[in-house]
Amino acid sequence: MTLPFLIHRRTVLGALAALSSGVAAAQGKPETLRIGLQKSSTLTTILRTRGTLEQLLAPLNVKVSWHEFTSGLPLLEALNLGNIDVSADVADTVPVFAQAAGANLTFVAQESPSPAAQAIVVRADSPIKTVADLKGKKIGFAKAAGVHFLLIAALEKSGLTFKDIEPAYLTPADGRAAFERGAIDAWVVWDPFLAAVQKQSAVRVLADGRELASYQRYYLAGTPYAKARPDVLGVFFHELQKAGAWVKQSPKDAAALLAPVWGLDAGVIELANSRRSYEVRAVVPTALAEQQRIADAFLAEKLLPRRVNALDVPLFKPGA
């Protein structure tokens, strides 16, 4: 074996060893992607249950931790404080409140409209027959949730304002309990809680989101994280799309997967999933028109501290 060949071989091996060492050093301690979600976060719950992200992000030296919240507003507060990196789907109203509070957020994805997935319900024997009959009544709902805007829009269409009702800000669990014991006259809620009360109690729907509120749900990230790890967000985005397509193509399988996780009957989940689009898409400025209507409605009701420009938020571009 000639000397030049040995020198060349040693040089190549040395370079490979140095490269390997550099990669190992660069990897170091695994990073953790902290994801916040709610019980209604269907697609993220599927990814969590299957361990999908853990498998796909391991080659990027990224681990995943999951953090559950009772509603969207505290979830985005945690995101803004840097306690989580990514938020699973929240109702379209929630980012409006976050923007008004000066949160540094990036829109990662949007689910196309699912207007029938939220509704105003009353007990079957209630004397309330129309939305106009809600005047002077006590109505339970989660503050800043999509149902908050649905209620405002429904009242306005019936010639009422938010001041004409008595609001009771309640989490879905507390709202269900208050509704069933008669402590509130009506309840405004979203799926799967809506499907559960429809299947398990005698209720009537006064109005759902059709022709009132399109109900588009958003996935968000803290802007510093979105800038630092677009590769991770790209994996997250594409897996959400795949999970959404699977739910619509295999509704019974999806319900069977989610039933033990959520502690709900599979029939309830299948009904709820039938009303959600689960079409995950990139957020573009033209798709934010309703966000501005939501912001203006909340400002008019003096529920926001300042005017919000719905377009004044960074948009993640998958594959960019």
Candidates 112, 315, 109; CA nearest to 223 is: 315
CB atoms within 10 A of CB 156: 16
Q: Do residues 245 and 107 share a domain?
A: yes
Q: Which residues on adjacent β-strands are paired with residue 280?
A: 111
126: CATH: 3.40.190.10
3-class SS at 28? coil
In whole angstroms, give the CA distance from residue 78 to residue 271. 31
Dihedral pair phi/psi, residue 61, rounded to 5°: 65, 40
Distance of CA 292 to the CA centre of its chain: 18
Q: Do residues 123 and 256 share a domain?
A: no
Exposure b/e, 237-271, CB count within 10 A at least 16 = b = bebbbebbebbeeebeebbebbbeebebbbebbbb
Structure tokens belonging to residue 107: 């829109």
Please check whether residue 307 lies inside any domain of the structure.
no
Please check whether residue 255 lies inside any domain of the structure.
yes
Q: Do residues 167 and 294 share a domain?
A: no
Candidates 220, 38, 5; CA nearest to 145 is: 38
Q: Which residues on adjacent β-strands are paired with residue 37?
A: 68
In whole angstroms, give the CA distance from residue 151 to residue 155. 6
Q: Do residues 109 and 222 share a domain?
A: yes
**Residue 27 pLDDT:** 56
Sign of CA dihedral 51, 52, 53, 58: positive
Q: Do residues 36 and 109 share a domain?
A: yes
Number of domains in the chain: 2
Burial degree of 33 (CB within 10 A; 0-12, 13-18, 19+)? buried
Point out the domain boundary residue: 185, 208, 231: 208
In whole angstroms, give the CA distance from residue 282 to residue 295. 21
Do 220 and 240 form a contact (C-beta atoms < 8 A)?
no
Point out the domain boundary residue: 177, 208, 239: 208
In whole angstroms, give the CA distance from residue 125 to residue 129. 10
Q: Peptide bond preceding 127: is omega within 30 degrees of 0, i.e. cis? A: no
Structure tokens belonging to residue 186: 């009506």
Structure tokens belonging to residue 98: 């976050």
3-class SS at 38? coil
Point out the domain boundary residue: 145, 180, 208: 208
Q: What pLDDT tens digit does each residue of the chain (320 aa) get?
A: 443 333 344 433 343 333 333 343 345 788 999 999 998 899 999 999 999 999 999 999 999 999 999 888 889 889 989 999 999 999 999 899 999 989 999 999 999 999 999 999 999 999 999 999 999 999 999 988 899 999 999 999 999 999 999 999 999 999 999 999 999 999 999 999 999 999 999 999 999 999 999 999 999 999 999 999 999 999 999 999 999 999 999 999 999 999 999 999 999 999 999 999 999 999 999 999 999 999 999 999 888 889 999 999 999 999 87
Please check whether residue 82 lies inside any domain of the structure.
yes
**Residue 25 pLDDT:** 34
Q: Do residues 108 and 175 share a domain?
A: no
Dihedral pair phi/psi, residue 205, rounded to 5°: -95, 120
Range of the domain at 157: 115-208
**Residue 96 pLDDT:** 93
Give the CA-trace dihedral at 69, 72, 73, 77, to 10 degrees: 60
Tell me the pTM: 0.85
Q: Do residues 145 and 60 share a domain?
A: no
Burial degree of 97 (CB within 10 A; 0-12, 13-18, 19+)? buried
Dihedral pair phi/psi, residue 218, rounded to 5°: -120, 145
